[in-house]
Structure 1
Amino acid sequence: MYHEQTYASLRKRRIHRIVAVAIVVILAALVAFSVQLAQQNARTQAAASLRNAILNSAKECCAVEGSYPSSLSHLEDAYGLTNNHNDYVVTYEWFADNVLPSVVVVPR
């Protein structure tokens, strides 16, 4: 059976297509935003984990050697601490042998 397409039916079909495309674009933008937010959250958590590893290694060094290390390189050489220098900026401030160093880790 032949069904003639009217202007109203063509317009209705066009609106449905536009709405469908708009929904797909909005969903794609939400997925991209969610992925970016998850990556940023992972980098922040990794920076916090690196800071905790540095502080734990400094405490271990103090327990073994009797004083906190004066540099981050001592922890890397003697205690096997690994740090990705390309991804994180680490500020290690040592004040005295008996004071826990100040450590700040910032993702690049």
Structure 2
Amino acid sequence: MQRRRTRRVVAVIVACVLAVVLWCAWDSASVETEAQGAMSVRTAVLDAAMQCAAVEGAYPSSLSYLEEHYGLIVNHSDYAVTYEAFASNVPPSVVVVPR
């Protein structure tokens, strides 16, 4: 009787430790995926701006111009994008932050 109780307690402790380890691994993976997604969005915005500069001879003044004329799609509900164009001959500053 005593051995059964000890085995159950050990099994519950092992299950709890395993659950905590898996939860921490999942959380770490989701943070990494979120950061990679933000980097991909930033790269897509900069690529579209470079394409615009190559075709039109100047960098666009706004993110909405890229979305309207160059087919750029940004998920604004998941990412906050700051697009700052200093001059038409200077690449824009792009910052993407996951929400």
TM range (shorter): over 0.9
**TM-score, length of structure 1 as denominator length:** 0.87
**CA–CA separation in structure 2 for the residues paired with 1:22 and 1:37:** 23
1:77 aligns with 2:68: yes
**TM-score, length of structure 2 as denominator length:** 0.95
**CA–CA separation in structure 1 for the residues paired with 2:85 and 2:11:** 59
Listed as ranges, the gaps of 5+ residues in structure 2 are: none
Divergent runs of 4+, >4 A: none
Please list the CA deviations of residues 61-102 of structure 1 after superposition, one character each: whole Å capped at 9, or x if unmatched: 000000000000000000000001100000001100110000
> Higher Cα Rg: structure 1 or 2?
1
* Alignment partner of 1:52 out of 11, 36, 43: 43
| Offset, 1:11 | 2.6
| Offset, 1:21 | 0.6
Identity %: 53
1:19 matched residue in structure 2: 10
How big is the alpha-carbon RMSD for the aligned residues of Structure 1 and Structure 2?
Answer: 0.9
